[in-house]
Amino acid sequence: MLAMPITMGKEVLAVMMAVNKVNEPEFTKQDEEVFSKYLSFVSFVLRQHHMAYLYNIESRKVQVLLWSANKVFEELTDIERQFHKALYTIKAYLNCERYSIGLLDMTKEKEFYDEWPIKLGEVQPYKGPKTPDGREIIFYKIIDYILHGKEEIKVIQTPPADHWSLVSGLPTYVAEHGFICNMMNAPADEYFTFQKGPVDETGWIIQNVLSLPIVNKKEDIVGVVTFYNRKDAKPFDEYDEQITEILTQFLGWSLLNTDTYEKMNKLENRRDIAYEMLMYQTKATTGEIESILKYKEKLNTNIIEDCEEKQLIQILVLTRWMYTVRKGYRSVTYHNWRHGFNVGQTMFTLLMTGKLKKYYTDLEAFAMIAAAFCHDIDHRGTNNLYQMKSASPLAKLHGSSILERHHLEFSKTLLHDESLNIFQNLNKRQYETVIHLFEVAIIATDLALYFKKRTMFQKIIDTCEKMETEEEVIKYISIDPTKKEVIMAMMMTGCDLSAITKPWEIQSQVALMVANEFWEQGDLERTILQQQPIPMMDREKGDELPKLQVGFIDFVCTFVYKEFSRFHKEITPMWDGLQNNRVEWKSRADEYDEKMKVIEEEKKKQEANTAPKAEEDLGSTGDDKKSKTCQIL
């Protein structure tokens, strides 16, 4: 016998043999040479064939991966749907008669009331097989893909232990140990007893079985996939193992998606629950509304006319909305309902007394007043920068105009409740207009955007000033939604800052409230963020308030009220009030400067004397500082 191996790399692909030399007792040296020469040609053909086989394997892998990826990324879905979509899509590349997926129960812990009977010794604890992470092995569902004969998919809910696919114990074994099991001749296996005869009415019989665990990135076994009977009747080989392993690995990894799906659903539900509870707690109660409107008495009068009843309901909704907005404001030092109410009231005044109403429809004016009432709802007494620095959920949600976007969102949320929706009778187009105005008006109260709109506002007024008739001005503005928005946005600023135009007794008090809220934020920055607050928020620098107020008037407020007064002379009283307050603040700022100059000179004089003595004096200056907030008034 003359035998030689055909190899590819280190792998032996085949052995070629020549048996029984004709007419000679053995093969000669020459035979060997000829044999070897022919061998190299034969082996060449064989290698070519093998390479083509390997190429086919690899391209099936690519297809399996691509198609399952395509399905897995289609949308977020639950584990069953995801596995099903992926496994169904790749059926053409699997080259087997059947395959099935068994899904494992992922519950690790029992409820306390199910543990009681075990703990009390009334029920035996579970002693059956468990997954490596300690779960009882329970297949709650089997999905069976039948590719031989008529294609079919069977779903078996909570399959019995003697179901043909489970009875051998192989899926349980795979789930217990996490091994890949390739049973070349399943019926002959001694360890696992597979069903010998046909498993169902199709007459189909198990021959070869390849079973793999699906493992997620946390290394938990979540299911078992089993492939039955290669289509060419051969046993599954190492390349089949490779393809199916790649597949199950990918499916296992992709469970990140199904976990996310579940987590997301839970989050959505939790958010919905919290919002519903929030609305329940915030919404004005019947009792609260009754404390304002004596509507029950009215309703009890049996003789109310149709139009009266409709009106009454409108008043009820408006009252409930207003009371709820009020409850939505927190009792912080400055940005509380008092401020919210003032801004709404000032918007009304600007429109009516200030005669700005003429550019807007009734609906627009209503929306503007409503937005003004809502504009600082649920303010927390700290500004946008503080939200960012403290990394509050609000700052994580909104990239800019953080609080303003929150005021807007909450205002809109209130309107989602029909019993609070003051715009419920509007048609879709009107409702969208109102919501758009809410958006522009409330976001516009972010002072960071103030400088963006300044020149645009000024240009409009410049143009109007040159016009000869009022009609011309009204037309110029009314026909252009953008101009109306710019003016409205500046009106919001005018309302928001209007305390600065109030009589001195009021302005001085309000300024202190604003300052106190700033100082409280400064305290938080020092204690919680461990940062040094800016002078405006630094309680220790409270003496500088008059100077800060003068600066604020000069750089922010003056423009607003001066331009509005130029635009509509009816608004001049606000401009006058502002100028008067500037005089007051300026005199206090000068007074403080004077005082500081004296102290500075005193200090210099003393520094010329001994050093220790100077320190003592500085201490007493510090004491003065602490009680300065009262001096402002």
Which residues are catalytically annotated?
335
416 binds a copy of itself (CB under 8 A): no
40 binds a copy of itself (CB under 8 A): no
Measured from the Cβ of residue 390, the count of other Cβ atoms closer than 10 Å reads 14
Instruction: Please report, as residue ranges, which positions from 265 to 284 form the binding site for a copy of itself (by CB under 8 A).
Output: 265-278, 280-282
257 binds a copy of itself (CB under 8 A): yes
Q: Binding mask 592-631 vs a copy of itself (x if CB under 8 A, - otherwise)?
A: ----------------------------------------
User: Interacting stretch for a copy of itself, rule CB under 8 A, among 43-51, 368-376, 592-600, 611-619?
Assistant: 43-51
250 binds a copy of itself (CB under 8 A): yes
The nearest distance, CB 50 to a copy of itself, in angstroms, is 10
The nearest distance, CB 110 to a copy of itself, in angstroms, is 12
113 binds a copy of itself (CB under 8 A): yes
CA dist 417 and 133 (Å) reads: 47
CA dist 371 and 399 (Å) reads: 22
Which residues are CB-neighbours of 610 under 8 A, at least 6 positions away?
Answer: none
Instruction: Please report, as residue ranges, which positions from 376 to 415 form the binding site for a copy of itself (by CB under 8 A).
Output: 378, 393-394, 396-397, 406, 410
254 binds a copy of itself (CB under 8 A): yes
CA dist 274 and 355 (Å) reads: 43
Instruction: Please report, as residue ranges, which positions from 512 to 551 form the binding site for a copy of itself (by CB under 8 A).
Output: none
Among residues 510, 631, 515, 503, the alpha carbon closest in space to that of 579 is found at 503
440 or 464: CB nearest a copy of itself? 440
114-134 burial, b if ≥16 CB within 10 A, otherwise e?
eeeeeeeeeeeeeeeeebeee
Among residues 424, 87, 325, the alpha carbon closest in space to that of 223 is found at 87
Among residues 50, 46, 42, 44, the alpha carbon closest in space to that of 18 is found at 42
316 or 456: CB nearest a copy of itself? 456
The nearest distance, CB 199 to a copy of itself, in angstroms, is 34
176 or 288: CB nearest a copy of itself? 288
52 binds a copy of itself (CB under 8 A): yes
363 binds a copy of itself (CB under 8 A): no
Among 35, 42, 61, 204, binds a copy of itself (CB under 8 A): 61
34 or 51: CB nearest a copy of itself? 51
452 binds a copy of itself (CB under 8 A): yes
Residue with tokens 């909305």: 321
CA dist 164 and 183 (Å) reads: 16
Assign 3-class secondary structure to 577-609: HHHHHHHHHHHHHHHHHHHHHHHHHHHHHHHHC
Among residues 101, 98, 123, 91, the alpha carbon closest in space to that of 110 is found at 123
Pairing, β 209-215 against β 181-183 = antiparallel
Q: How far is CA 241 from CA 148, 209, 260, in A?
A: 21, 11, 29
419 binds a copy of itself (CB under 8 A): no
157 binds a copy of itself (CB under 8 A): no
591 binds a copy of itself (CB under 8 A): no
Among 16, 18, 65, 363, binds a copy of itself (CB under 8 A): 65
105 or 176: CB nearest a copy of itself? 105
Q: Binding mask 323-362 vs a copy of itself (x if CB under 8 A, - otherwise)?
A: ----x--xx-------------------------------
Among 135, 335, 483, 541, binds a copy of itself (CB under 8 A): 483
Q: Report the SS3 class of residue 17.
A: strand
Cβ–Cβ under 8 Å, residues 117 and 301: no
271 or 416: CB nearest a copy of itself? 271
Instruction: Please report, as residue ranges, which positions from 205 to 224 form the binding site for a copy of itself (by CB under 8 A).
Output: 217
Q: What are 608-616's contacts with CB under 8 Å, separation 24+? A: none
Cβ–Cβ under 8 Å, residues 220 and 85: no
Among 21, 154, 263, 595, binds a copy of itself (CB under 8 A): 263
Assign 3-class secondary structure to 160-193: CCCCCCCCCCHHHHHHHHCCCEEECCHHHCCCCC
The nearest distance, CB 282 to a copy of itself, in angstroms, is 5
* Amino acid, single-letter form, for residue 194: F
